[in-house]
Amino acid sequence: MKEIQATLLADSKCVLGEGPVYDETCHGLYWTDITTGRLHFMDLETGEHNYLHIGRNLGCFALTDKGRIVAGLNDGIYILDGPRCIPYCKPAEGLRPPDTRYNDGKCDPFGRFVLGTSVEPNDSEKGCLVSVDGRDSYQVLCDGLGCSNGLAWSLDGKTMYHVDTLDFSPSVISAFDYDPATGAASNRRQAVDFTEKAKSGILPDGMAIDENGNLWIAEWGNYCVACYDPRTGEQIARISLPVEHVTCCTFGGKNFDKLYITTASISGEPGGGVYVAEPGVHGFPTTRFKET
């Protein structure tokens, strides 16, 4: 198995760093600190690092085709235009019971914003996965989730991969048939079995897909991002980090040959920085949300 070492890029001291997004138009990297509601940005040319304080939990976000940001906040989906939060889509309250927030999300290859929810307490199964394709236009792709997390799509866009971090019976990375025309997901099945790792407290979190169709999955509690072949379930590579709680990753860099990795700092433990590694494969540009 291939072993790779990640290095620290930004000591951002996030409580719950998540959702890195690479912007190829400016060679910059965005990420969120969900708990503090901060949207971070680093200019990768100069190393300059700043953040925008949103003022509420910022679960996930994506870049839009109008140069703005679409984001999942506590109570709905908003367009971020500088410091302004402009209401865009508010799914039915029944999809968001009390103590729920939006969690991981990203755009599908066709410009829809797909995002899931996380429910407290963490053993709840009231979470769901929602696809937003326009102002106040959405559909529910999957429900009964514990903590909706990582997302990726196959190279042809016809398979969606999804992580439910808190599904232990068994713990799996799921694959769905995905309809490019409608964005509907069906035929849920196992792609990677995480059950044995979950028994020891190692949980799958965010993920990215590479040019070979392999999944790079952040492993919460295991100091790494691990690469799996979803066709066989086999682990084929590991990126080691010096911190335990690894949360998400994305491909970026001018040749999309770098993997940017977010981490968390729980109860004052080391972590919360952003790391970078060279996995030896390429990824793809970020799909932008099609604003309507």
Cα(43)–Cα(23) distance, rounded to whole angstroms? 10
Q: Give catalytic status of residue 205 as yes or no.
A: yes
Query: Which listed residue (33, 104, 205, 210) is catalytic?
Result: 205
Phi-psi region of 221 (alpha: psi -120 to 50; beta: other; left: phi over 0): left
Identify the three-state secondary structure at position 167.
Answer: coil
Q: Are 38 and 58 in contact (CB under 8 A)?
A: yes
189 has which bridge partners?
A: 175
**Residues annotated catalytic, as ranges:** 205
